[in-house]
Structure 1
Amino acid sequence: MTALGIPSSRSLCLFDSNQAVYREKPEPGAMLLRTAKTHIRFGHFEYFFYRKQPEQLQTLIDFTIDNYFPHCRANSNPIKQMLIEVVEATALMIAHWQSIGFQHGVMNTDNMSILGETIDYGPYGFMENYDPTWIANHSDYEGRYTLENQPSVGLWNLNCLMRAFSGHLAKDDLIDVLSHYEPKLITHYRTLTYKKLGLSLDEKNSEKYDIEFVRELNQILKRESLDYTLFFRILSNIENPNDLSTVLDEVVDREPMAQWLSQYILKREQENVDWHNSSIEMLKTNPKFILRNYLAQHAIEAAEQGNYLPFRRLLYVLQTPFEEHPESEELSFRPPEWAKGLEVSCSS
């Protein structure tokens, strides 16, 4: 995730054990030691609030501001300023998730960092065939944490956090804090989406964003069951607008894609950007490699037999996912039929 540019906790070390752990089935145990700028979550504030422990809650608030948001002390309302920054950091993180097709899988408030870092990896996954309703967590029976629901769940969690501060800020202040979420998330997501397409967009010219243009592409991706990551990688390799055969060869119904590509070429020409240079930048934005569940499963099965080479190879390419790595080309391939739409659990 860090290599993809997404704020995240980090893995310090991983070691295994011969002792069996009983989950869905007995498996060799392993332990991952994680580091993060902080492990303080939304749920910590809720804990003291709902247990009616105001002194402990105040201690946690003071500690959080002093250690992670000290600049907020200069503000006339440091708690409100801190919460605005928490809201905006959360919005930026989720916008990153959406742009890369990452589904967290279990977005409880105790899995949300106050610093907007991705933490508590469990039943997560990267979307393969484009489907915003895909569920990574096999115990998410109602689809609460689908990819398309993550932005709204993020807002729900922030509402829960605001409730824990209801004794410290007036209702209007809490509403004002939450009002920062949606515009920040939408603007950042749109900027990232246009960057994936080789188009320019920022907060100053956000009105350029063509919702229908992006929606048409997503509809094609879904109808054709195209691999989300590989499609953008293929698009990134186009250096000549007169040769779009590699994109058209990915679809069965070529006409809708051809029409969309005509619009795409027009937008690129309006920006007057060299296609070769644009391709170089897009290849730095659209990864070739993601952690596909079936690749992780292969690495696990090999490690259980004492063979750590698949794990090391996978880790190596994931640390530089935008590079070509021709020696590991197969790690970028679409999943086989048996592995499509794999769901995992909190104990995976």
Structure 2
Amino acid sequence: MNLEHHFASLGEAFSSKTLIQPLFEQRLVEFNQALASFLSIDIKSSTTKRILNGEETLSASVSMVYAGHQFGGFSPQLGDGRGVLLGEVKGADGFLYDLHMKGAGPTPYSRRGDGRAVLRSCIREYLASEAMAALSVPSSRALALYDSREAVYRETPEAGAMLLRVAKGHIRFGHFEYFFSQGKQAELDQLIEYCLKHYYPECLAADSPLQSMLVEVVKRTARMIAKWQSVGFQHGVMNTDNFSFTGETIDYGPYGFMEDYEPDWVCNHSDHEGRYAFSRQPGVGLWNLNCLMRCFSKHLERDQLISILQCYEAELQSHYDVLMMKKMGLSKAQNVRDLLPTILTLLAKEKMDYTVFFRLLSHLEVDGFTVLLDEVVDRDSLSHWFDRYQTTRLSEGLVWSKVSHDMLLVNPKFILRNYLAHDAIQAAEQGDYLPFRRLLNVLNQPYSEHPESELLAQRAPEWGRSLEVSCSS
């Protein structure tokens, strides 16, 4: 494992030296071999094992310091309270990727916490990040999962665990907020140059490299959130310290994949005011970007910053239109805008499963509508919508068999339903990782039929609809 240490070289103003502190009787229980091969990491190497187990000291492993707006309130200093950036490794595409261990023990930013993670949260993050990657949503990835016999105390004692995560970068909006709020201009400039060099080198040739980079950050964020909305994903904690400067989904805590369609659905039991409800995610993304832009108020004029932010809505809407055109099997954005609001209103009224609806729609032939009618009470409204939909598809001159094939490639059969994660976690806590691996297998190939795993595509049973997820998850 050829580790490089570019972020650590920025100096102690940006991070603190931190080592992995091994858990009691920890063991490697899952390893992402495909991702490891992409990163040229050999898990069988004794040196690699010692590094990841915390048995070999890395002189440049660090925990990062940053700030952030949390539920709208500004926290001037946060940081990796339970994470260690081991360094960067080069992928097969020639780009560098961070290796970051979650649950590695106390850091200078733990704020009196134990710096640990529990098996429950590590499994949830492993499953979510891999599911998102398979759905083509920019995301951190899971490389390795460790369990242990060490008790970690939350509401009750739980099994301690560690998760090795991979991302293009772990720099957050909150990194820039930290240095800007403290008036540390030299460090802010240093961070800007670092990001230009390592994440946005194509912007260096622009007349204004910073402005060019920020436009790209805005657009990446917009495209990421458009994809969240299209697959029915809710992040749960869209704080600025949880937003990646490289446009990846990071920090999976109380997330959720929508089942029954509810525009104002809140997956996080701790979000009492619904600040991060599903329908509010696009607006929160813009709010977070506005916080980020303030950090560059001494580098760019106000009009320039406003112009950068104005890229957001158009990018999000156009990308969402493209995604929903594919989901609906249509070729014109205006047709999506005409048809989508009506069917989403009906889905909400009928409390119909979002994923199931689009999967069933993908299977439709010209005269095969009965299966969808059987899913609703208001058959007349759905029939009227389908007549419009059918007329629209025919007017576009599309071949239905080809359209159905293409729709099945973008409308998943399998999503990470909360009750499935719950079942996998309960089994793993008893030492049985087979349900976790079975679930991971279908999430890695969510568009395939997997007839042997048909149960994993079913809606949640009644008990599974009331499960709560909070920040402690």
TM-score of the two chains, using structure 2 as the length reference: 0.71
Cα pair 1:6 1:93 within 8 Å, conserved: yes
Q: Deviations over 1:40-91 (max 9, x none)?
A: 1110000000011000100000111011111211111110000000000000
Alignment-derived partner of residue 316 in structure 1: 441
CA positional deviation for 1:98: 0.2
Partner SS state of residue 340, structure 1: helix
Matches within 5 A, 1:142-153: 142-153=273-284
How many angstroms apart in 1 are the aligned matches of 2:154 and 2:261?
30
For 1:210 and 1:36, how far apart are their aligned partners in 2?
33
Structure 2 residue 337 is matched with structure 1 residue 211: yes
Q: What residue is the counterpart of 2:232 in the other structure?
A: 101
Question: By how many angstroms is 1:303 displaced?
Answer: 0.8
1: CA distance, partners of 2:306 / 2:452: 53
Corresponding residue of 1:84: 215
Distance 1:270-1:72 versus aligned 2 partners, 3 A rule: same
Counterparts of 2:338 and 2:193, CA distance in 1:
46
The alignment status of 1:33 with 2:164, answered yes or no, reads: yes
Higher relative contact order (CA 8 A, sep 6+): 1
Matched to 1:262, the amino acid is: D
- Answer yes or no: is 1:303 the counterpart of 2:434: no
- Which letter maps to 1:75? A
1:57 equivalenced with 2:200 (yes/no)? no
- Structure 1 residue 333, shift from structure 2 partner: 0.3
> 1:310 is matched by which residue type in structure 2?
P
Residue 49 of structure 2 is matched in structure 1 by none
CA displacement at 1:210 relative to structure 2 = 4.5
Asked if 1:127 is matched to 2:255, the reply is: no
Distance (whole Å) between structure 1 residues aligned to residue 207 and residue 393 of structure 2: 46
Identity %: 58
Letter in structure 2 aligned against 1:317: V
Question: Secondary structure, in 3 states, of the residue corresponding to 1:247?
Answer: helix
In structure 1, the residue matched to 2:139 is 8
1:279 alignment partner AA: S
Deviation at 1:193, TM superposition (A): 1.1
TM-score by length of 1: 0.97
Read off the aligned partner of 2:442 and give its amino acid letter.
Answer: V
8 Å Cα contact 1:190/1:209 also seen in 2: no
Is the CA contact 2:151–2:160 (under 8 Å) kept in the aligned structure 1?
yes
Q: Deviations over 1:148-203 (max 9, x none)?
A: 000000000000000001110000000000010000001111111121011114xx
Tell me, in whole angstroms, the C-alpha distance in 2 between the residues paired with 1:282 and 1:211: 18
Q: In the alignment, what sits opposite 2:460?
A: 335
Greater share of strand residues, 1 or 2? 2
The whole-number CA distance in structure 1 between the counterparts of 2:165 and 2:263 is 29
Distance of 2:200 and 2:371 partners within structure 1: 49
Q: How far has the Cα of 1:212 moved from its partner?
A: 4.0
Code of the aligned partner of 1:282: M
Distance in 1, Cα, partners of 2:241 & 2:466: 27
The CA distance in 2 between the partners of 1:56 and 1:129, in whole Å, is 47
CA contact (8 A) 1:99 1:189 kept: yes
Counterpart Cα distance in 1 of 2:432 and 2:197: 47
* Kept after mapping to 1: 8 A contact 2:264/2:279: yes
State the partner residue of 1:271.
396
Is contact 1:8–1:119 with CA below 8 Å preserved after alignment? yes
Deviation at 1:339, TM superposition (A): 1.4
CA distance in 2: counterparts of 1:301 and 1:341, whole angstroms: 16
CA contact (8 A) 1:94 1:151 kept: yes
Kindly indicate whether residue 364 of structure 2 is the aligned counterpart of residue 233 of structure 1.
no
Gaps of 5+ in 2: 1-131
Alpha carbons of structure 1 residues 156 and 275: separation in structure 2 relative to 1, 3 Å: same
Q: Matches of 1:7 and 1:76 in 2, distance apart?
A: 28
> 1:245-297: CA deviations, max 9, x gaps?
01111111100000000000011101111111111110000000011111001
2:324 paired with 1:182: no
Task: Return the alpha-carbon distance in structure 1 between the equivalents of residues 162 and 472 of structure 2.
Answer: 12
Cα pair 2:325 2:336 within 8 Å, conserved: no
What is the CA deviation profile of residues 95-147 of structure 1, one whole-angstrom value per residue up to 9, with x for unaligned ones?
A: 00000000000001111111111001111000000001111111100000111
Q: Amino acid of the residue matched to residue 401 of structure 2?
A: H
Could you tell me which amino acid in structure 1 is paired with residue 184 of structure 2? Q
One-letter code aligned to 1:316: N
Deviation at residue 30 of structure 1 after TM alignment = 1.5
Matched to 2:346, the amino acid is: I
- 1:9-40 per-residue CA deviation (whole Å, 9 max, x = no partner) reads 11010110111111222211121110101001
The answer on whether the counterparts of 1:134 and 1:341 sit within 8 Å (CA) in structure 2 is no
> How far is the alpha carbon of 1:304 from its aligned partner?
1.1
The answer (yes or no) to whether the contact 1:135–1:343 under 8 Å persists in 2 is no
What value does the CA root-mean-square deviation take over the aligned residues?
1.0
> In the alignment, which residue of structure 2 is the partner of 1:17?
148
Give the Cα–Cα distance (whole angstroms) in 1 for the partners of residues 263 and 192 of structure 2: 36
Matches of 1:293 and 1:25, distance apart in 2: 21
The aligned counterpart of 2:381 is 256
Letter in 2 for 1:105: G
Once the two structures are superposed, residues 229-260 of structure 1 have per-residue CA deviations (whole angstroms, 9 ceiling, x without a partner) of 0110011111x211210111111110000000
**What residue in structure 1 maps to residue 302 of structure 2?**
171
